[in-house]
Structure 1
């Protein structure tokens, strides 16, 4: 009786051919399923090539991309997605200082007091490091108080904290009694001055520790200008902001130095949270705005702070 020839009757050569063909079919199937699975994974995450790149680099970029979908003006850390990376308002350890009010006593030509407008930025003598003496209206009185040597470093947060040379910084604050020259101390012009940043982006002012007046946390005002030549009007400032003085140093000075008696009770009634300028800032912004201070009432203080702007 004749029967059909089965595969196992065809010999070793036939068997090897069959095994090879089946293995190739299996590989094709596995490749197809792998491709389909990867596509499903990307679709499920809502992603594309841009999201894949940003997921691996989020929060690490130190420069802004031109295709960024958003920016932050307050200096808080928040990321924005591009097709290649994720940018943030931080650059390394630097953040942009938040803009703050110049207050009612800027003396930069933007407001008037007692019917007159004061603009010390156009006055001869305003460019100086030691801002303790008055220099206008014939007064040479020197503001009394605990000495402070304050060094500010201006950096570009869009370029990994690179120093900004040739910029002008105008700095002013109240005296130890809480009065501002040209305003509540109209005969005086002390505690105001301009310096130009050096190659390290730094300026240094010699001043006094400000008093604390009612309703405000102890602070120092400043404005940043692109150059000394543009610092002739308060309307040209790139940044107007304030420094918040360290709480521990405030307590030490107000309770240990002469002439600060009214600051003791004023300071006891204010906190950074309740302050109408610093109260809505983030912890990172407050840290940026608070100078590091070392020293004593007897010897004076050395203070440093970084000012970040995006250029």
Structure 2
């Protein structure tokens, strides 16, 4: 069920003021989402207590790793540790979401998908007429694409990802960025259904929870030829990791913006399906993070 949210507007209350809700962390946000539909209904028998405990553990592991070690500490569910091609049974389909106003896929102005150079795993720099490199804490994005009906990995699917830079601006659209195309790229899924990108941690800009956009195509050829889109959705980045990254130089404005929103109130993730879009995280501020998500299509 595709939503009709065509833009990413600011959250405004009845007095015309930006909503300012104190950020309370991932566990609070998940509990808020789970309470709306009852945990057993959403997770097919997985208890809410077990879910929250697992999320708390994941957050604590990443926090400890970020402050005390430069070696990545795997978080539960990381795609690199568990991905296989075999069918594993039905899985939840990732929710359909808006591509937002800055997709760069031809649906809102410029189309970068047919440009030579868009098929690449390292998306930190622009290609073509510019070689500008986006600054920020390193982040690897790993999307494991699976058939929701069977759980089998989709091998050779085309995945297009894009997200904002450290200042909350998008290449191709932002002020002074119309000649830049960094933080955008296409990759095929491998033999285990994984598409992997080297990038940077995006900012939190006003009115939205920190996120990464993606589109899934049947294959890379379909992606670069603007073929039919199989799935358009977004990845939510966990609160504990957001706070760690935004405490570093260059992300100062993200601290304020994160404090003015929450996962539960976000226009995209703030429904009873947002729980399926929260990335599993591993790594540290010193060595960079990995954001992994299994995408059922």
Fold shared by both chains (TM-score > 0.5): yes
Q: How many residues align?
A: 211
Change beyond 3 A, Cα 1:213–1:288 = same
1:207-251: CA deviations, max 9, x gaps? 000000000000000000011121135562110000000110001
Alpha-carbon distance in structure 1 between the residues aligned to 2:179 and 2:133: 12
Determine if contact 1:108/1:233 at 8 Å carries over to the other structure.
no
1:305 Cα deviation (Å)? 1.1
Alpha-carbon distance in structure 2 between the residues aligned to 1:77 and 1:294: 23
SS at match of 2:223: coil
Alpha-carbon distance in structure 1 between the residues aligned to 2:242 and 2:290: 14
For residue 41 of structure 1, what is the aligned residue in structure 2?
A: none
1:47-126 pair list within 5 angstroms: 92=89, 94-112=91-109, 118-126=110-118
For residue 174 of structure 1, what is the aligned residue in structure 2?
A: 164
1:4-51: CA deviations, max 9, x gaps? xxxxxxxxxxxxxxxxxxxxxxxxxxxxxxxxxxxxxxxxxxxxxxxx
1:147-186 pair list within 5 angstroms: 147-159=138-150, 161-184=151-174, 185-186=177-178
Determine if contact 1:110/1:234 at 8 Å carries over to the other structure.
no
Normalised to the residue count of structure 1, the TM-score between the two structures is 0.65
SS at match of 1:229: helix
For residue 241 of structure 1, what is the aligned residue in structure 2?
A: 233
Alpha-carbon distance in structure 2 between the residues aligned to 1:181 and 1:233: 21
Alpha-carbon distance in structure 1 between the residues aligned to 2:186 and 2:134: 17
Normalised to the residue count of structure 2, the TM-score between the two structures is 0.68
Greater RCO, CA 8 A, separation 6+: 2
1:200 Cα deviation (Å)? 0.6
Determine if contact 1:293/1:304 at 8 Å carries over to the other structure.
yes
SS at match of 1:150: strand
For residue 277 of structure 1, what is the aligned residue in structure 2?
A: 268
For residue 244 of structure 2, what is the aligned residue in structure 1?
A: 252
The answer as to 2:205 corresponding to 1:213 is yes
Structure 2 unmatched runs, 5+? 1-41, 45-87
For residue 191 of structure 1, what is the aligned residue in structure 2?
A: 183
SS at match of 2:222: coil
Structure possessing the higher radius of gyration over alpha carbons: 1
1:303 Cα deviation (Å)? 2.3
Alpha-carbon distance in structure 2 between the residues aligned to 1:151 and 1:232: 20
1:187 Cα deviation (Å)? 2.3
What's the C-alpha RMSD, in Å, of the aligned pairs?
1.7
1:198 Cα deviation (Å)? 1.2
In terms of fraction of residues, the more strand-rich structure is 1
Of 229-238 and 101-110, more deviation after overlay is shown by: 229-238
Alpha-carbon distance in structure 2 between the residues aligned to 1:96 and 1:224: 13
Structure 1 unmatched runs, 5+? 1-75, 79-90, 113-117
Alpha-carbon distance in structure 1 between the residues aligned to 2:100 and 2:156: 26
Determine if contact 2:89/2:149 at 8 Å carries over to the other structure.
no
